[in-house]
A and B are shown apart, each in its own frame.
Chain A
């Protein structure tokens, strides 16, 4: 990075002016001033985002402060406008590339800094890949139960399932991202060539409770009462009015209220075809099956504090079984998926009661990138501060003292 004076450029032609402007923009993008500003804005955002967690769920804080373009943070009557972490981190990455890698003077002494900057870029790239491509959810199994599916913590989807004779089913899934972005007053229409109707979703609320009601708003004697988002976002139960309408803008011919806590799907029959409509958490399928053989919770003696949670599982793939042990700090990694021990229950279960175990399941292509980034950054900082700064300082001091001694 450099804030030094720009070389004088003749601004006699349009091309020259453009070149001067471009160079000034590049200089600004790679400047120390921008780096410092961005670091401080990110610091302030992080501070506010930390304090806000006392009032909002972590997910909401993440969305508001760390995945947004713009934030307004309220302190009492004072509203502070700030850029969100998305533009800040993007600009920081640009600043790092322009000022910290491309324009930085490549000298023997700056090698460590260059390496550290490359490490930070690697870390940011890994985080971006994770944000873009990872799937995160959980799987809960009772002892003896098995599954090859895991469900998202927060994201919901509406699925229209057609059951054929013989039990086979085809599913049409309404994209979660479009649903989650809906406001209560929005209406969204989804169409598929495979369905004989369009699906119309309205009155989407991220957390509701049903209540008995009459009047125009009610559907089958029920309506949804919106509730404040939960402090733990995974406990939100969304609801929506779902209508099945004639294709190509036709009118709604059947409708229902779907709620996240409904255990059973809404069934609609049309022209001898049977459709099930369900609001559920987004699901992904694993390329293998997991069976929970046994869950063990060990307590420290004489106190109720857990010392260890252990799940003994069988992983089944292509008909072949393999035993695995999942415990805290020792996940199961297989085929790009990782299963972590994250919970258990029921709490306070009497001896002999069947237990369930909950696994966090993650697919993250950049899973190990932070580790390599850490090595690179550590190496860079060590080379710069220890080899170039500290060792040289000691050598300089020794020479100074020797000179002072001989002078005396």
Chain B
């Protein structure tokens, strides 16, 4: 065989790989440059065109409290966008790509521009038929702008409210689509009104008292109201500020009108809590929304100076979108004040790390690297070049390092062991699967495990990324009370996940034997199949050790938490089923009932049990580990079961053919 000339030169191969790896990492480097470099002149102002790098960087680091934790605005933007577009980026009307933060800035500060961004994913155009919206010229699954959806808003709301009262499990995909679209548009609307108070002009001409407060001005902005809050409180009506309803009623019609308008604006500005309380966390943990701060003003409460400064900054940003310099100046003030306040409370330390994690985006980039590693492995089959193999190893390990770095950063951010959610099990299991294959390859250098490693890594990360997109929720949520124990999360959950890894990697290795034998690949190379068989057995034994211990540890945890060791909960049953399947296979081997091919077939079946236990039981809607019903997950699992059934059927056909061949040769 003649190798391509370029591949004969190791340096060329290495350079090619480095370029590709660097290419995949370049957005990270670009992100850091933007973060650390001087504030370069923005290509355009805040009023039109893209946001400057400085604006994006300052905004990305703004702390907000959402989902029970303090996080950067960038994370909030990412998951809000994922919830609507099911993607980590959007495009504007002209097709220019927007980062989540840029998209959110448009929604909050330039809603009329954001309305034209096609960011609402409609999975099935029957959803649009249901709400009576024309969609000619669009694909069945397509993105729509808020402006395009607006004509159907009333019907969408009407249908969604009906469906939301029903059990989600009983809804059709179209009904799910209607509910999702309604939730998305509601979120968009709430965010687009977040700084209405900064844009609004208030008429105070009807009240001489108010005019006096505002130096004779007849039209003022909320920034003026905030700036003159102490003087204003003297003309506001006295009463019980917590009396409920619309609060105390003013006798001066002009004051009453102003108060009504301010309360209306306050009501509209509650989309996200971005104002930290001035005291320590122990005194008050829950942050305020801008609307709550504004509501306090209407009740005659004097805002603490830091909150006053933040509100003035936000109002200023809302009111100066057309003036780039003023917008950036206000944003700098807001960012500095918010950082100072959050730091004082000890809640800022992890914000930069989370922004870095978002920029690193290790799990999307890792998936790309795993695919590249697989392509290099595949190239290695063709050219049999040690440098190509070395490049495959390099890229594979780079992907693994990136993935482990991502997991590690998440551990620091959450102050938790690697696994506390279903999403995190995928990250951990795929990383461990890749590592296990890499170790196996070191012992048995036939390329079997090296081939499987990038496949497992890519599939795992694509699964994690798809699940993240599908759910459109923060993947670092707060945990329910019973899970608030790092001791048991570390011991039981990690152990079980290692057990899953063993079972799944064994099943993946078993495919080599079953498909190879069935389709006659490497026929006659018995050493190859012996190796595959040994690795399958080794991984199965590895999985059994951790599955058994992890399952019992789960019972011990349950005993400590609920007072019973075993409750036949679906997740417990799933873990038990894995142990039983693995024990049956190993006993079948010891008893001589299963040879290499039989073990491989049984191990593949065992892999489906692992998948059932890992994912399916959580979506049955029963037991203590029910995570709700997610249509995409069940569809994916069904496809997996069908594929594995086909592989097993192919295996049985091989057994049948081999049996027929043997009997034919015996007869002859």
Q: Which of A's residues lie within 8 Å of B, judged by CB?
A: 1, 3, 31-33, 35-36, 39-40, 42-43, 46-47, 49-51, 53-54, 58, 61-62, 66, 123, 126-127, 130, 136, 299-303, 305-309, 328-329, 331, 338, 340, 342, 360-362, 364, 367, 370-371, 373-374, 377-378, 381-382, 385-386, 389-390, 393-394, 397
Contacts and interface: CB of A to CB of B under 8 A. Distances in A.
A54 B622 contact: yes
B549 A377 contact: yes
> Which of B68, B590, B591 gathers most chain A CB within 10 Å?
B591
B169 to A, nearest CB: 10
A306 B480 contact: yes
Interface in B160-190: none
B389 to A, nearest CB: 18
Nearest to A373: B552
A328 B481 contact: yes
Nearest to B67: A303
Given A1-B587, A328-B561, A390-B538, 19 more contacts: A32-B587, A39-B587, A40-B580, A43-B581, A46-B580, A53-B622, A54-B621, A301-B287, A302-B66, A329-B488, A331-B560, A340-B561, A370-B552, A370-B559, A377-B548, A382-B545, A385-B541, A393-B534, A397-B443
Given A360-B563, A381-B544, A381-B549, A302 B481 contact: no
B482 A329 contact: yes
Contact of A300 (B69, B544, B592): B69
B565 interface: yes
Nearest to B582: A39
Given A309-B481, A370-B556, A374-B553, A43 B577 contact: yes
Interface of B: 65-69, 273, 285-287, 443-444, 478, 480-482, 484-485, 488, 534, 538, 541-542, 544-545, 548-549, 552-553, 555-557, 559-570, 573-574, 576-577, 580-581, 583-584, 587-588, 590-593, 609, 617, 620-623
B287 to A, nearest CB: 7
A188 to B, nearest CB: 30
Nearest to A42: B580
A53 B570 contact: yes
B567 A381 contact: no
Nearest to B540: A385
13 contacts: A40-B580, A43-B580, A127-B565, A301-B69, A305-B478, A307-B484, A308-B481, A309-B481, A328-B482, A331-B561, A360-B563, A362-B564, A374-B553
A136 B562 CA distance: 11
B645 to A, nearest CB: 16
Contacts of B552: 123, 370, 373-374, 377
Contacts of A54: 620-622
A306 B563 contact: no
A305 B574 contact: no
A378 B498 CA distance: 14
Nearest to B570: A50
A130 B565 contact: yes
A136 B558 CA distance: 14
Contacts of A362: 563-564
Contacts, number: 167
B59 to A, nearest CB: 21
A308 B285 CA distance: 15
Contacts of A61: 568
A340 B287 contact: no
A16 B548 CA distance: 42
A345 to B, nearest CB: 15
A355 B614 CA distance: 37
Contacts of A33: 591, 593
Contacts of B591: 1, 3, 31-33, 35-36
A47 B578 CA distance: 11
B560 A329 contact: yes
Contacts of B565: 126-127, 130, 370
Contacts of A53: 568, 570, 620, 622-623
Contact of A43 (B484, B553, B584): B584
Contacts of A47: 573, 577
| Best-surrounded residue of B484, B581, B587 (most CB of chain A within 10 A) | B587
Nearest to A382: B545
A219 B523 CA distance: 82
B562 A360 contact: yes
A308 to B, nearest CB: 5
A267 to B, nearest CB: 36
B564 A136 contact: yes
B583 A39 contact: yes
A35 B577 contact: no
B559 A39 contact: no
B566 A39 contact: no
B542 to A, nearest CB: 7
Across the A-B interface, give the 7 residue pairs with the lowest CB-CB distance, nearest first: A32-B591, A300-B68, A362-B563, A374-B552, A301-B285, A43-B580, A39-B584
A26 B398 CA distance: 56
A377 B534 CA distance: 24
Contacts of B570: 50, 53
